[in-house]
Structure 1
Amino acid sequence: MAYVAEIWRHPIKSHGREALLNVTLRAGECLPFDRHWAVAHDAARIEDPDQWASCSNFSRGAKAPLLMALDAQFDRASNTITLTHPAKPGITFNPDRLEDHPRFIEWITPLCPTNRAAPARIVKADRGMTDTGFPSVSLINLASHAAVEAQIGQALSPLRWRGNLCLAGLSAWDEKGWIGKRIRVGEIEMDIREEITRCLATTANPNTGERDADTLGALEQGWGHQEFGVYGYVTKPGAIHIDSPVEVIK
């Protein structure tokens, strides 16, 4: 039986992750507070700061690999986020307080390359800043991850894929057959709409932020593509917890 092995939330897009034991999802929405904020860079072209925008407008791991080593903790009661990184002391701030933004930008800038657009401000849209044009939840098959590890010949952290739900109990690449189907995860149901095309962010080690594995080359050489994981759209709300069963229902 397939089941949920891990649940991850990324409060600020590309700026840290936190593990959850359970979560309640609503229909037509992202995982709560996942990619709720994003860091727009100084070359961003965002017409409406309150609406979803594409990932090219934001600081992200594909361009700034050191960001991949960030961990996050979101405190909903105080609306604060604590970020930690192995290279420096952590920081706690409220992403909705404009007076906190300069301190955050000063803290994060040394983790970004000087030859790329620099982080400029924190933005928040009417929905999560996922890489899809619809509010999505990303699913990772840990058996497929093990297949990539075998192909590349080294141990890899599943955190490279920045998924929301890591699933166990499946065969490798089962998820590729889910496109256009509906699955049940715990109490929720979701339509699986797209595969996830991967970028250079996955080449960086989540423990160090250093690029140390050719994940894209492994996907190409092993299977002739750069897809890993799938995006789902929640159609029936409910709760998910660690060990929730997963099944294809139609």
Structure 2
Amino acid sequence: MAHVAEIWRHPIKSHGREPLLHVTLRADECLPYDRHWAVAHEATKLEHSNRWVPCSNFSRGAKAPSLMALEASFDAASNTVTLTHPSQPGVTFNPDRAEDHARFIEWVIPLCPANRAAPVRIVKADRGMTDTDFPSVSLINLASHAAVEKQLGQELSPLRWRGNLFLTGFDAWEEKDWVGKTVRVGEVEIEVREEITRCLATAANPRTGQRDADTLGALNQGWDHQEFGVYGYVTKPGRVHVDSPVEVIA
């Protein structure tokens, strides 16, 4: 039976991920605390507001591949995020405290290319800063991931795709037929709205932060497209845990 293999949250957009054993999803919302914050750079057109804006306003793995090696841990009790990276000691800070921003920026600057717009501040939206103009949860089919590995002839971490729910038990690329349909995940129902068009972030190894795989070339050469995974919209709330059953219901 198809089921949830892994659940991942990314508290700060493009700055680390953490595994979860279970999560409660709410209708019309992102996965709780997923992309809850983002890091605006010096070329941002973002005003000081809490409204959603496109990803081009933020530091991200497509421009700074070293960020792909970040691991994160969010502590709700203290509202702090701990980030770790293989190249330097970790840091713990409260993203909502202005006095912590400078310390975080100083810490993350060495991970950002000097020829790209530098990070300047942390922002928080009234919803998760996903790459969609609606509050989304991303679904990743691990069979499709295996197909990309075969196309490239090398092992890849699924974490390159920065998804929320990693699913197993489906055929490769079956998710491309889910757009416009509803997927039931445990108690939750998710309306699949669009495929995810991939960027250069996926070329970077999540363990090292170094670009070492032509994932975009593999997608284009193998299947004549650059999509991987789908974005969904939660229509029925509930609890999801690792091993929750998954089925396409409409």
Q: Distance in 1 between matches of 2:226 and 2:152?
A: 14
After TM superposition, give the deviation of residue 141 of structure 1 in Å: 0.3
Counterpart residue identity of residue 59, structure 1: S
Mapping 1:1-250, distance limit 5 Å? 1-250=1-250
After TM superposition, give the deviation of residue 48 of structure 1 in Å: 4.9
Q: Distance in 2 between matches of 1:13 and 1:198?
A: 16
After TM superposition, give the deviation of residue 221 of structure 1 in Å: 0.4
Q: Distance in 1 between matches of 2:183 and 2:107?
A: 41
Q: Please give the secondary structure, in 1, of the residue aligned with 2:12.
A: coil
Q: Please give the secondary structure, in 1, of the residue aligned with 2:213.
A: coil
Q: Deviations over 1:75-131 (max 9, x none)?
A: 000000000000000000000000000000000001000000000000001000000
Counterpart residue identity of residue 224, structure 1: D
After TM superposition, give the deviation of residue 29 of structure 1 in Å: 0.1
Q: Distance in 2 between matches of 1:2 and 1:191?
A: 17
TM-score of the pair, normalised by structure 1: 0.99
Counterpart residue identity of residue 135, structure 1: P
Q: Which runs of 5+ in 2 are unaligned?
A: none
Q: Please give the secondary structure, in 2, of the residue aligned with 1:194.
A: strand
Q: Distance in 2 between matches of 1:96 and 1:239?
A: 27
Sequence identity of aligned pairs in percent? 78
Q: Distance in 2 between matches of 1:248 and 1:159?
A: 24
Q: Distance in 2 between matches of 1:12 and 1:217?
A: 28
After TM superposition, give the deviation of residue 47 of structure 1 in Å: 3.2
Q: Distance in 2 between matches of 1:169 and 1:182?
A: 17
Q: Deviations over 1:110-168 (max 9, x none)?
A: 10000000000000010000000000000000000000000000000000000000000
Q: Distance in 1 between matches of 2:94 and 2:185?
A: 32
Q: Which runs of 5+ in 1 are unaligned?
A: none
Q: Please give the secondary structure, in 2, of the residue aligned with 1:24.
A: strand
Instruction: After the TM superposition, list the runs of 4 or more consecutive aligned residues in structure 1 that deviate by more than 3 angstroms.
Output: none
After TM superposition, give the deviation of residue 49 of structure 1 in Å: 2.1
